[in-house]
Amino acid sequence: QVQLVESGGGLVQAGGSLRLSCAASERIFTINDMGWYRQAPGKQRELVASITSSGKANYADFVKGRFTASRDDAKNTVYLQMNSLKPEDTAVYYCNANSGLDYDGEYYTRFYDLWGQGTQVTVSS
């Protein structure tokens, strides 16, 4: 099965840190650009950070200097290191793969717009 699984969310006090992980299932052979998004209650999903296949990261203004995205292609995993967390960072965080290849042992198949199930991040004041 082709899927992304986030982990690392939780409850943290303002000023604290969390590290989110997004692991791709073993069938996924390669992933191109990836993104971290978040959605707070009553709000639209918004892009937090993106990272290209070459490792270049871009960030939304509201997390610049506090969050760092990285990827380990050997593990097919991307990370989001979140420091200096604020209560307004509270949301469900999702990872997204814009495209990639999965391999079922016989065929390579391209996939598009793959989302994880999300992980809750709650920052208390």
The arithmetic mean of pLDDT across residues 49-60, rounded, is: 96
Tell which residue, 23, 19, 116, has the closest CA to residue 68. 19
Poorest-pLDDT segment among 15-19, 33-37, 109-113: 109-113
pLDDT confidence of residue 31: 87
pLDDT confidence of residue 81: 98
**Hey, what are 2's tokens?**
């082709």
**Hey, what are 13's tokens?**
């006090």
Q: How many helices (H) and strands (E) does the chain have?
A: 0, 12
Residue 65 CA to residue 53 CA, distance in Å, equals 22
The arithmetic mean of pLDDT across residues 102-120, rounded, is: 93
CA distances (Å), origin 85, targets 76, 79, 90: 26, 16, 9
pLDDT confidence of residue 94: 98
Q: Which residues pair with 113 in a beta bridge?
A: none
28 has a pLDDT exceeding 90: no
Residue 23 CA to residue 36 CA, distance in Å, equals 13
Residues contacting 75, CB < 8 A, separation 6+: 23
pLDDT confidence of residue 116: 96
